[in-house]
Amino acid sequence: MLAPRLILLLMWLFNSAFVLQPLAAFAVPNPILPMLDLLILPTTTLGYCWAAGSLGGLSSFGGVLVVAIGLIIDLDLIGNGRGVGRR
């Protein structure tokens, strides 16, 4: 669960345009949205930033596919974390 967050944090520190530029169109201010994404859906955010930077965003099938795979991975990580707590 730590790897996507670490990668997103390193990309934000070393190449802030990779993270901040795709998220600039949203209504939430730039520093707040990446921090929320870092905590909640880091793999989906990485997929969205990559799709926006190299695949043409969500207007292409490849972009939608990358974001959907990231969302599935994040939901699986969230679900597995809750299951471990119940055992």
Mean pLDDT by 10 residues, the chain (87 residues): 82 84 75 79 88 85 91 82 54
Q: What pLDDT is attached to residue 87?
A: 53
Q: Radius of gyration of the chain from Cα atoms?
A: 13
Predicted model pTM: 0.76
Cα–Cα distance list, 68 to 11, 64, 72, 86 (Å)? 21, 6, 6, 27
Which tokens hold the place of 68? 């959907």
Q: What is the DSSP letter of 59?
A: G
For the chain, where are the E strands, in sequence order? none
